[in-house]
């Protein structure tokens, strides 16, 4: 095992390299060897949705690896940029989120990454919100940022190029997104920025802006996009091929046991720290180990063992207590009433409060509308209702 095996595990690219014509002479490895201070490792997360899946966890896990090597993780919650939305890879303009939506999403993001990052060791983590500096930019500073890039450079960006070619609208405020993400690097004086392969353009903009403002440009470290449990397309909630960080251990275990054989090595490399040369040869044994290890990371050994035992006995869903909807006196029924009927909440009133607080999920999706109503029991059959982190029931006829 080499000195920097932790750094290189699962990465696609580190840039710049010493051979690049416009780069500094040192490599990231050289910087890590010679630095006399902890490097500042930036990862930005825009809270555009309520939940994170395993694909989102990959750069967060790499951020933890830097923490364990003695460096400072700078986790930027993009509460300001989330109101615009990253246009990368989007065929149309994103809906702009409200300040309240962003604040609620940000809180749940932090809850979900807590099992991954070291929140306790002094000096190992800074959590910053980019509204701290972006909300204070005056028109003069915004014009200065805009003057560092040309329209041609923006239109060369993947996503913009496709939309321009197809004559789909591109709004001026979308051009601001990579500049604002880049300015985040200036604000926190980042030495390294982590991101998926689709973030190279935005990270490079950060390097350019750091030069413009007299800082040493950051290194970019790119990580792969995780293929979903279908083995075909990238992991995505909308495609249904995802494993959510907030899902019940039994649900995680069940989904991970179904990962196709040809994707298992990628999952082990990106989602665990297990040595890749010591994995079981039998694909079924690999699936079992993967499911157990990922559940252990997020829920502990006991939960992993319980999920494994339930799967062994054929009751993959049996680790989740069941509640018969026959116990709901009538339909249509409001979710708050159902929460009381299942005893997940003490009453309908408590159910309403939990919904308002963002503590209620259905199949991992956060429910925030207290008036959510179900017309008939069949809408809920087989679904998992959750309150907080530890209260679950599977709804059955």
Specify binding-site residues for ATP. 237
Which pair of structure tokens corresponds to residue 237?
């909630």
Tell me if 197 sits within 8 A of 44, measured CB to CB.
no
Q: Which of 117, 104, 14 is nearest to 65 (CA)?
A: 117
Which pair of structure tokens corresponds to residue 145?
């940022």
Residues near 369 by beta carbon (within 8 Å), at least 6 away in sequence? 355
- Distance, in Å, from the CA atom of 288 to the CA atom of 308, rounded to the nearest integer, reads 8
Which pair of structure tokens corresponds to residue 46?
């825009």
- Distance, in Å, from the CA atom of 295 to the CA atom of 235, rounded to the nearest integer, reads 18
Give the number of other CB atoms < 10 A from CB of residue 295. 26
At residue 96, what are phi and psi to the nearest 5 degrees?
-80, 130
Using only C-alpha atoms, the chain has a radius of gyration, in whole angstroms, of: 23
Residues placed in the known binding site:
237
Give the number of other CB atoms < 10 A from CB of residue 124. 18
Which pair of structure tokens corresponds to residue 260?
């196709």
Residues near 387 by beta carbon (within 8 Å), at least 6 away in sequence? 339, 344, 345, 354, 359, 360
């Amino acid at each position: 095992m080499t000195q920097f095996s932790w750094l290189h595990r699962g990465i696609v690219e580190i840039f710049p390299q010493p051979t690049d014509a416009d780069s500094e002479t040192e490599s990231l490895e050289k910087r890590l060897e010679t630095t006399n201070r902890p490097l500042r490792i930036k990862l930005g997360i825009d809270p555009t949705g309520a939940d994170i899946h395993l694909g989102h966890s990959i750069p967060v896990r790499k951020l933890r690896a830097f923490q364990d090597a003695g460096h400072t993780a700078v986790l930027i919650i993009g509460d300001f940029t989330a109101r615009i939305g990253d246009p990368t890879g989007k065929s149309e303009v994103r809906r702009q989120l409200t300040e309240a939506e962003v604040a609620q999403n940000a809180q749940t993001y932090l809850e979900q990454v807590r099992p991954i990052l070291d929140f306790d060791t002094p000096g190992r983590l800074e959590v910053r919100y980019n509204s701290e500096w972006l909300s204070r930019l005056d028109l003069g500073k915004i014009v200065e940022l805009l003057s560092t890039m040309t329209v041609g450079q923006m239109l060369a960006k993947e996503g913009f190029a496709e939309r321009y070619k197809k004559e789909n609208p591109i709004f001026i405020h979308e051009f601001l997104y990579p500049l604002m993400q880049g300015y985040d690097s200036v604000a926190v004086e980042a030495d390294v920025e982590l991101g998926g392969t689709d973030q190279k353009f935005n990270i490079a903009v950060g390097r350019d802006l750091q030069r413009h403002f007299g800082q040493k440009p950051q290194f970019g470290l790119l990580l792969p996009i995780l293929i979903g449990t279908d083995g075909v397309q990238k992991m995505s909630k909308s495609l249904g091929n995802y494993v959510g960080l907030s899902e019940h251990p039994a649900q995680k275990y069940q989904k991970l046991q179904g990962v196709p054989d040809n994707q298992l090595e990628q999952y082990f490399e990106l989602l665990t720290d297990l040595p890749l040369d010591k994995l079981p040869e039998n694909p079924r044994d690999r699936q079992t180990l993967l499911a157990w290890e990922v559940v252990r990371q997020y829920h502990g050994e006991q939960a992993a063992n319980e999920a494994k035992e339930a799967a062994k006995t054929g009751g993959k869903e049996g680790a989740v207590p069941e509640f018969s909807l026959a116990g709901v006196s009538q339909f249509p029924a409001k979710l708050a009433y159902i929460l009381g009927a299942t005893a997940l909440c003490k009453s309908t009133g408590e159910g309403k409060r939990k919904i308002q607080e963002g503590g209620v999920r259905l199949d991992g999706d956060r429910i925030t509308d207290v008036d959510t109503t179900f017309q008939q029991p069949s809408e809920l059959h087989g679904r998992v209702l959750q309150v907080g982190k530890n209260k679950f029931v599977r709804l059955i006829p």
